[in-house]
């Protein structure tokens, strides 16, 4: 079984903060999500299309 590393800093994972090594890396990942640092590739969504779906 291969040990996986922290996706942020590549240090060994901590069971307490899995899949991260520490609360710092966990918080950095959360900040990326909250600041739109991660995105799914594709065309931009049109707000009018989203409104029609609701």
Adjacent-strand bridge partners of 5: 12
pLDDT tens, position by position, 11-28: 999 999 999 999 999 999
Going from N- to C-terminal start, the domains of the chain cover: 1-36
C-alpha span between 28 and 34 (Å, rounded): 10
Adjacent-strand bridge partners of 12: 5
Adjacent-strand bridge partners of 46: none
Local structure of 12: helix, strand or coil: strand
pTM: 0.66
Q: What is the mean pLDDT of residues 29-52?
A: 87
């Amino acid at each position: 079984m291969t040990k996986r590393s922290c996706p942020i800093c590549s240090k060994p994972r901590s069971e307490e903060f899995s899949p991260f090594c520490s609360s710092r890396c966990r918080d950095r990942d959360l900040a990326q999500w909250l600041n739109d640092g991660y995105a799914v590739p594709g065309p931009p969504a049109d707000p009018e299309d989203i409104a029609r779906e609701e």
